[in-house]
Amino acid sequence: MVKKTVEDIEVSNKRVLVRVDFNVPQDKSSGEISDDARIQAALPTIQYLIDHQAKVILCSHLGRPKGEIKEELRLTRVGERLSRLLNKPVKCAPDCIGPEVEKLAEELKSSEVLLLENLRFHAQETKNDPEFARSLADLAEVYVNDAFGTAHRAHASTAGVAEYLPAVSGFLMEKEIRFLGKALADPARPFAMVVGGAKVADKIALLENIINKVDTLIIGGGMANTFLKAQGNDVGGSKVEDEQLDFARQLIEQANTKGKNILLPVDGVAADKLEPDAKHQVVNITECPPEWLLLDIGPRTIEQFKQALNPCKTIIWNGPMGVFEYSNFAEGTNTLATFIASLSATTIVGGGDSASAVKKLGLTDKFTHVSTGGGASLELLEGKTLPGISVLLDK
């Protein structure tokens, strides 16, 4: 899965169309950008292109305008923020295709930056309409995809354009492919995966793929309850996905026959309701009070998980260990995140909520890699080929 990058193609004096992920969160009332991490993440590629005299044409989606022009979803504010971060002017186009945009692209000088308007103002974008893709491609001579967060979608700007232009990855995309791709294809061992989050159903494809690759599989979070029940434990009033009990049983069996180390919680934090200030106490996993919910892993579990992870050389973590949004049930997630971050192993976080837990702790830089794409990283972990990656030129 090694792909050509911006460094493998001539960009000097060329019009380069770059698909970035500028889908930033905005304050609902003021429209202000509340977190510019995604803009920051695209800067290395943009700066490289500026430094190498490319004519930079950026395109992105923002929100879900569903093929209509929505004033609050214009990229004007993004352009202003980008201009400030780059410390140079950024021209904003009134649309992403059409004669006026073509003229702006044509007039662009080397090292100048043009930001196209929200791609999803056109319904053809998400339909991967070939005509629309062609119009986008006609603006440029080279295509760069740096939007890992949308790489699992076959849209005009993520896949379609590559039919008409030489296509390479940006640095952010390259980093995602390198870390997640290598960890899955050729991990330093022992290799462990920590899986958590709310539902087994969300992670079936991931578990089916990953069980063949890891040495150790650790299961926590709400989904552990289904596995615990599958093993005959009474998990009180915790939510259990009864339709996944067979899957859970089979996965445990598969792990055992393949000689994999599989760990489930041995204790937990039980609460009388799913509220921040609920009554709560640490219980053995076999002793959850009736009607109570297991909302976090307990201290003995944390200790066992740490011991299993300690010798590992590659660790991928996807899904919080508890309801980390409430401080009473955040201990498992926080302690484990801090521990994993401290190890001298390749440590990777995939998944939107896990990434935000790590960010809240200020640990993002302590991991080898925190993936920027929730859905996209999940699909990579499921072993799928992502359309936004497969269209890029092989190295």
DSSP string of 179-232?
HHHHHHHS--SSEEEEE-SS-SGGGHHHHHHHTTT-SEEEE-STTHHHHHHHTT
Which one, 222 or 388, has the nearer CB to Mg ion? Answer: 222
323 binds ligand ADP (CB under 6 A): yes
| Phi and psi, residue 115, nearest 5° | -110, 120
- Please identify which residue in 79, 197, 298, 387 interacts with ligand ADP, judged by CB under 6 A: 197
Active site residue 103: no
Supply the minimum distance, in Å, between the C-beta of residue 327 and ligand ADP.
12
Q: Which of 14, 38, 175, 229 is catalytic?
A: 38
Q: What sign has the CA pseudo-torsion 348, 354, 356, 360? A: negative
Which one, 313 or 359, has the nearer CB to Mg ion? Answer: 359
Active site residue 352: yes
Nearest to 313 by CA among 190, 214, 212, 226: 190
The CB-nearest residue to Mg ion is: 353
Residue 380's H or E segment, with its range, is: helix 374-381
Given a contact cutoff of 8 angstroms between Cβ atoms, the answer to whether 127 and 164 are in contact is no
Residues 286-305 that bind ligand ADP (CB under 6 A): 294-295
Which one, 128 or 318, has the nearer CB to ligand ADP? Answer: 318
Cβ-based neighbours of 186, under 8 Å, separated by 6 or more: none
Supply the minimum distance, in Å, between the C-beta of residue 353 and Mg ion.
4
Residue 103's H or E segment, with its range, is: helix 99-107
Active site residue 63: no
Active site residue 249: no
DSSP-assigned letter for residue 34: S
Using CB under 6 A, which of the segments 54-62, 84-92, 171-179, 347-355 binds ligand ADP? 347-355
CA 90 to chain centroid, in Å, comes to 27
- SS3 state of residue 270: strand
Supply the minimum distance, in Å, between the C-beta of residue 82 and ligand ADP.
27
352 binds ligand ADP (CB under 6 A): yes
| Phi and psi, residue 390, nearest 5° | -65, -25
352 binds Mg ion (CB under 5 A): yes
353 binds Mg ion (CB under 5 A): yes
202 binds ligand ADP (CB under 6 A): yes
- Judged by beta carbon distances under 5 to 8 A according to partner kind, the member of Mg ion, ligand ADP, none in contact with residue 325 is ligand ADP
Residues that bind ligand ADP (CB under 6 A): 196-198, 202, 221-222, 294-295, 318-320, 322-323, 325, 351-354, 374
Catalytically active residues, by annotation:
38, 199, 352, 375
